[in-house]
Amino acid sequence: MTLLELASKRVSCRAYDTARAIEKSVLDEVFEIARLAPSACNKQPWRLVVVKSKSKLTELAESYDRDWFKTAPMVLAVVVDHTESWHRADGKDHADVDASIFVEHLCLAAAEKGLGTCWVCNFKPEVANKVLGIDGVEKELVALVPIGYPADNSVFSKPKTRKEISEIVSEI
């Protein structure tokens, strides 16, 4: 599969096969690909919390109350440590940028393995932080990424709606 084919395949999956577990070898490879993501000054300020116990998934679902979210067999919580991230001369913290690159590597790797993912940023931080045991200040939850095999594999073949290249690229 080419990178163009892979990028076309990756979608936001909102229905998971609740009966199919993710094989450890598949998950390990997804994590390895995400680990190789670049970061500002190679600081790698991200941490990944794998939430897979039924009780923790139920608690975490209180931070993002959507029925489809509850069908994921696992949720990956992407946390950054602001004390480890690179800060530009004007103070700009690149933790969110680094975490975004990390998450997209993770999502592309998952799609290549036939797994569905979805970026979730619209969660209640105070609820999620409590479940995950993070302070929300130095260590901040950036995204929740449900992951699992899609309930319907046709999700990977749905056409994407994107702006035309002429709308997003300019030359000076």
Residues 1 and 133 sit within 8 Å (Cβ to Cβ) = no
- Inter-CA distances, 148 with 18, 55, 65, 86, 112, Å: 8, 18, 18, 32, 13
pLDDT given for residue 136 in this prediction: 74
pLDDT given for residue 108 in this prediction: 97
What's domain 3-149's architecture?
3-Layer(aba) Sandwich (3.40)
Q: Give pTM, 2 decimals.
A: 0.94
- Tell me the pLDDT of the chain (172 aa) as tens digits: 899 999 999 999 999 999 999 999 999 999 999 999 999 999 999 999 999 999 999 999 999 999 999 999 999 999 999 999 999 999 999 999 999 999 999 999 999 999 999 999 999 999 999 999 998 789 999 999 999 999 998 888 888 899 999 999 999 9
pLDDT given for residue 2 in this prediction: 94
pLDDT given for residue 107 in this prediction: 98
What is the SS3 assignment for 44? coil
Please report which helix (H) or strand (E) contains residue 139, including its range.
strand 139-148
pLDDT given for residue 56 in this prediction: 97
> Residue 50: beta bridge partners?
76
